[in-house]
Amino acid sequence: MTRRLTVAQAIIAFLKAQYSSRDGKENRLIEGCFGIFGHGNVCGIGQALEQDSGIRYYLCRNEQAMVHTAAAYAKSAFRMRTLACTTSIGPGATNMVTGAAAATINRIPVLLLPGDIFARRNVAPVLQQLESATTQDVSVNDCFKPVSRYWDRIQRPEQVLTSLPEAMRVLTSPADTGAVTLALPQDVQAEAFDFPEEFFRKRIWTIPRTRCDAQQLEKAANWIRQARHPLLVAGGGVLYSEATRALASFAEATGIPVCETQAGKGSLRFDHPQEVGAIGVTGTPGANILAREADLVIGVGTRYSDFTTASKTAFQNPGVRFININVAEFDAFKHHALPLTGDARATLEELQTAVAGFRVEASYAARIAKFRAEWEKEVDRIYAVRKQPLSQGEVIGELQAFLEPSAVLLNAAGSLPGDLHKLWRTKEPGGYHMEYGYSCMGYEIAGGLGVKMAHPDREVYVMVGDGSYLMMAQEIVTSLQEGYKLNIILLDNHGFSSIGGLSRGSGNEGMGTNYRFRRGEKYDGEPLPVDFAANAASLGACAIRAKSHEEFRNALAAQREHDRTSVVVVETSYEERVPGYESWWDVPIAEVSERENVREARKKYEQARAKEKYFL
């Protein structure tokens, strides 16, 4: 039997029949489709979505933002379900490229359906087509190739019969997932074909808990038994595998301390006895000291970004060895590690059995407890600083005291990720949502919407700096339209504080990082009079200004009572910063300069860079 449908109608009919399953729990894989319509998709995918209510359509305001929303949705669902995104050709398509890169870098599944130029070519060049003098087989959609885990262009109707299953395979693959892009020429979208009926039957994509090699596991157990100062680095894979209980059990049984990457934060509760906090450039002193001295590092679900490894300076013990538990072979072999290629939860459970009876020495356990106690005092100190304007650390502290344990805190860019990585006391898995693989300014509000869509029962708090807000605030309108309340905390420090600090730390003067009027050659006039509260209110949100501790606490209380998205604008200090601890980040400084400050910064840079290791 066959069903005669257009290509676009067939795509929608196929998507609504796809499900994911793990541990017997079944989910609709594609829960909905975001889109902005234009001449490249309105009469194809648009017509199919309007005709078939099986996939809910959502209108957004920016194509990049809708990919961020879809990615945040998928990340919050621990990659078990996601959203599709459709655009017209031309700028609608290329606007999605940044969102695709963020999703792929973070290993988050999203399905992208950009419109494309005519497959039959006879009417070329069409509106918004980028012509090539050397080939007719290229369009702007080819820009998606390097930022997609799977890319295809559908030139004939029957090609979807093989392409769509491959797309679903990648979307549900723990090891290979990321952005999946199917470029859809607008004439092909409207073509009809007799599709086999079985193509539209329900299909369940089972996400397995793959086991690692038994001999490798036994070798890893022997390494752990030999270690005197082991350290476990928990990455995002712990959360995506839903392995938090297995990790807690392993840590409790062995006494091995656990530090967390940005993606892995929340793998353990902040008050777990083996939890030593953030690692790397934005890490805590205890975690970074333990990393420096560790003779064995057990990486679980981490890709070892430069912020985690402090640009390959974090692990200084000359005899350090690595065991990497990762479902992706590509990551499991990093740092010349003993690779345990498999699911995080299954591997941790089996490894705990294999090392039964092992526990770290009492002296090492005492150091872990000491570092934990000292850090809690330091966090309390930072939270209690009294400045005017408020410091960023104070705002984090006030928000920490106010939020219920089930709330989700979200951020992406600026100086906030570093401060939150160190300071935020996460209480539940998924309660800390940071996009830091791409650290994309503008992700925050769009991402907050995705989290709220995935978990409508949880309060979502979006912390965003003034710079990111000005880049992409318009999804406030989408949240109102769809009835998803976001709690947005907008920190107004009148500029790009993070990069300003990096510039001055490199011997420069922070050019281009202050929001001030130009006076002659420099931006050294008065601060720009941007009224963020008025801007948010003009988009339909409730808006509150706060300048003091009391005003901020009152604003949070009022925000809780609002029935729609609200924005609290709090002025913060541009200068007051949470310090770094026992770490370094490689940002190359000019080798020659007329400025003495730059020359001095270069000397310090060369000294620090000497600690980097090519082979660990």
Which CATH number do you get for residue 499? 3.40.50.970
Same domain? 168 vs 246: no
Give the H or E element holding residue 56.
strand 56-59
Secondary structure of 62-114 in HEC code, one letter for each residue: CHHHHHHHHHHHHHHCCCCCEEEEEECCCHHHHCCHHHHHHHHHCCCCEEEEE
pLDDT at site 211? 97
Task: Summarize pLDDT for 29-78 with one digit per residue, the tens.
Answer: 999 999 999 999 999 999 999 998 899 999 999 999 999 999 999 999 99
Transcribe 381-393 into DSSP letters: HHHH---SSBPHH
CATH code: domain of residue 225:
3.40.50.1220
The set of residues, in sequence order, having a beta carbon less than 8 Å from that of 204 and lying 6+ positions away, is 19, 20, 21, 26
Same domain? 345 vs 407: no
**What's the CA gap between 286 and 420, in Å, rounded?**
16
The set of residues, in sequence order, having a beta carbon less than 8 Å from that of 415 and lying 6+ positions away, is 392, 465, 497, 498, 501, 577
Same domain? 30 vs 47: yes
Question: Do the domain assignments include residue 587?
Answer: no
Same domain? 312 vs 400: no
Q: Are 76 and 69 in contact (CB under 8 A)?
A: no
Same domain? 357 vs 394: no
pLDDT at site 386? 84
Residue 490's SS3 state is: strand
pLDDT at site 615? 66
**What's the CA gap between 44 and 37, in Å, rounded?**
10
Mean pLDDT by 10 residues, the chain (616 residues): 98 98 97 96 96 93 98 98 96 97 98 96 91 92 98 98 98 98 97 98 97 98 98 98 98 98 98 98 98 98 97 96 98 97 98 98 98 97 90 96 96 96 97 97 98 98 96 97 98 86 84 87 89 97 96 96 97 87 94 93 94 81
Same domain? 77 vs 196: yes
pLDDT at site 616? 60
Question: Do the domain assignments include residue 182?
Answer: yes
Question: Do the domain assignments include residue 584?
Answer: no
Same domain? 458 vs 504: yes
Q: Which is nearest to 225 in space by CA: 258, 253, 254?
A: 254
Structural domain boundaries, residue 491: 385-571
Give the tokens for residue 614: 């090519």
Same domain? 219 vs 202: no
* Domain end among 340, 373, 406: 373
Q: Are 160 and 184 in contact (CB under 8 A)?
A: no
Give the H or E element holding residue 5.
strand 2-6
Opening angle at CA 419, ends 78 and 80, nearest 5: 5
Residue 122's SS3 state is: coil
pLDDT at site 40? 93
Q: DSSP letter at 503?
A: H
Instruction: Label residue 280 left, alpha or beta by phi (over 0 means left) and psi (-120 to 50 means alpha).
Output: left
Q: Phi and psi (nearest 5°) for 278?
A: -75, 150
Residue 14's SS3 state is: helix
Q: DSSP letter at 268?
A: S
Give the chain's count of helices (H) and strands (E). 24, 23
Residue 429's SS3 state is: coil
Same domain? 335 vs 395: no
Q: Phi and psi (nearest 5°) for 17?
A: -100, 5
Task: Summarize pLDDT for 293-345 with one digit per residue, the tens.
Answer: 999 999 999 999 999 999 999 999 999 999 999 999 999 999 999 999 999 99
Backbone Cα Rg of the chain: 25
Q: Which is nearest to 322 in space by CA: 310, 341, 339, 307?
A: 339
Question: Do the domain assignments include residue 599?
Answer: no
How many domains does the chain contain in total?
A: 3
Same domain? 227 vs 100: no
**What's the CA gap between 587 and 604, in Å, rounded?**
12
Same domain? 360 vs 251: yes
Task: Summarize pLDDT for 245-279 with one digit per residue, the tens.
Answer: 999 999 999 999 999 999 999 999 999 999 999 99
* Residues in the chain, overall count: 616
Instruction: Label residue 133 left, alpha or beta by phi (over 0 means left) and psi (-120 to 50 means alpha).
Output: alpha
* Domain end among 206, 231, 261: 206
Q: Which is nearest to 608 in space by CA: 583, 580, 579?
A: 583
Question: Do the domain assignments include residue 593?
Answer: no
Q: Would you give the end-to-end CA distance of the chain in angstroms?
A: 59
Opening angle at CA 486, ends 460 and 542, nearest 5: 145
C-alpha distance from residue 179 to each of 413, 436, 595 (Å): 21, 16, 44
**What's the CA gap between 336 and 212, in Å, rounded?**
17
* Domain end among 190, 206, 222: 206
Question: Do the domain assignments include residue 603?
Answer: no
* Sign of the C-alpha dihedral computed for residues 107, 110, 113 and 119 taken in this order: positive
Transcribe 559-595 into DSSP letters: HHH-SS-EEEEEEB-SS--PPP-S--------SS-S-
Question: Do the domain assignments include residue 234?
Answer: yes
Same domain? 195 vs 219: no
Q: Which is nearest to 613 in space by CA: 222, 391, 320, 407?
A: 320
Query: Taking the CB of residue 517, how many other CB atoms lie within 10 A of it?
Result: 12
Question: Do the domain assignments include residue 243?
Answer: yes
**What's the CA gap between 311 and 587, in Å, rounded?**
9
